[in-house]
Amino acid sequence: MARALAEPLTPITLIGDPWPDYGLIDSGNGRKYERYGPYRFIRPDSQALWAPAHAPWEAHAEFVPGSDEEGGGRWVFAQDVPHTGWPLAWEAVRFTARTTPFRHLGFFPDMAPVWRWMRQQLAGRTAPQALNLFGYTGVGSLALAARGAAVTHVDASNKSVEAARANAALSGLDQAPIRWLVDDAAKFVSREVRRSRRYDGIILDPPKYGRGPAKELWALETGLPPLIADCRRLLDERSAFLFLTVYAVRMSALSLGELLRQNLSDLGGSIECGELGVREEARGLTLPTAIFARWHR
């Protein structure tokens, strides 16, 4: 008997709209022009292939990339910007934005529709358990904690976890049930499997390359499949979601979707994949930012 073939995955798009403290003002010619609270910034973006709506742009600072493909470069300031950062808000969550050597500003605004979607998946549950791997400065963790989730936040960088704790205090969530852990994500998940732990939801945003706190090497192509397999063991028939994002790789969203389908299909529910993007204020164009795959009940 012939084996039934799986239906092809159809990629979808999650688009982030402007909010009071963030907006993609304009984009084009390989750059983007954004507002972060009262400040305006220009950053390189190779996917902005079109011409901008307006020129010239007046910004407080611009990130000028280096000659290599691995993200080198520096900020050039035309006006004063607080180097210690300034407060922003997304709904009730408050956090600090600041210019970083990695060209971003301390959080990823295109994740706003993901934060909202995760909240929807956990709505109506009493004290759901959520796991945020590669959690960075914690805005996603705080978005969940603000709605009553108990969150385990894991990042290999002590500096990032300290920033996440400070963001929790800004949000009035310093007493929320959040475990702040400086740890290697893959090793932590393996230990959680051995402890027979479970979670209602998992979000992970692994880098292309990285190092754990004990200099553990991470490479996405080899590290992601076993990590997803272990994440599956932390989910059960009561779990609600897993959301995976990947930035700056030569990889298709379909690859992520099929990886989740292989590992999570036995849980039932739905598996989707596609692109994240941000809607430009000037014309409503969508600037793509990352690829994702998700499973939900």
The predicted-structure confidence for 8-56, as pLDDT tens digits, reads as follows 999 999 999 999 999 999 999 999 999 999 999 999 999 999 999 998 9
Whether 216 has a pLDDT exceeding 70, the answer reads yes
Output the pLDDT for position 215. Answer: 86
Assess if residue 145 is contained within a domain. yes
Average pLDDT, the chain: 95
> Whole domain around residue 282: which residue ranges?
12-19+83-296
Q: Provide φ and ψ at 228, rounded to 5°.
A: -65, -40
Q: What is the pLDDT of residue 42?
A: 98
pLDDT attached to residue 250: 86
- pLDDT computed for residue 99 by the predictor: 97
Quote the pLDDT of residue 198: 98
- CA distance linking residue 118 with residue 169, whole number of Å: 22
* Residue 76 lies inside a defined structural domain of this protein: no
Q: Please give the average per-residue pLDDT across 206-233, as a whole number.
A: 94
> Cα separation of 219 and 241, whole Å?
24
Are 185 and 134 in contact, with CB atoms under 8 Å apart? Answer: yes
Percent pLDDT > 90 in the chain is 91
Name every residue whose Cβ is closer than 8 Å to that of residue 147 and which is 6 or more positions away in sequence. Answer: 119, 122, 123
| Three-state DSSP class for residue 168 | helix
Give the pLDDT score at 66: 83
Q: Which of 111, 114, 90, 110 is nearest to 296 (CA)?
A: 114
Proportion of the chain in helix, strand, coil states, percent, rounded to 5 = 25, 35, 40
What dihedral angle (degrees, nearest 10) is formed by the CA atoms of 51, 55, 56, 62? -40
Residue 234, both tokens: 């932390």
Domain contains 46? no
Residue 59 lies in a domain: no
Distance CA 22, CA 259 (A): 33
Residue 147 sits in a domain of what CATH number? 3.40.50.150
Query: Does 248 reside within a domain?
Result: yes
Rounded Cα distance between 192 and 173, Å, is: 25
Query: Among residues of the chain, what percentage have pLDDT more than 70?
Result: 97
Q: Assess whether pLDDT exceeds 90 at residue 279.
A: yes
Domain count, the chain: 1
**pTM over the 0.85 mark:** yes
- Residue 67 banded pLDDT, cuts 50, 70, 90: low
Q: Is 134 within a domain? A: yes
Strand ranges inside the chain, DSSP E:
12-16, 22-28, 31-36, 39-44, 61-65, 73-77, 86-90, 93-97, 129-133, 150-155, 178-182, 201-204, 209-211, 217-219, 241-246, 270-279, 286-296
Evaluate whether residue 174 is within a structural domain. Answer: yes
Dist. CA 283–CA 288, nearest whole Å: 15
59: three-class secondary structure by DSSP: coil
Q: How confident is the model at residue 72 (pLDDT cuts 50, 70, 90)?
A: confident
- The residue to which tokens 């009262």 are assigned: 38
- Please give the pLDDT value at position 260: 98
What confidence tens digit (pLDDT) does each residue in 224-273 have? 999 999 999 999 999 999 999 999 888 999 999 999 999 999 999 999 99
Q: Where residue 1 falls among pLDDT bands split at 50, 70, 90?
A: low
Checking if the pLDDT of 95 tops 60, the result is yes
Residue at 176 is within a domain = yes
- Whole-number Å distance between alpha carbons of 285 and 122: 31
* 6 pLDDT higher than 90: no
Query: What's the pLDDT score for residue 70?
Result: 56
Which pLDDT score, from 0 to 100, does residue 238 have? 97
Which of 196, 215, 102 minimizes the C-alpha distance to 157? 215
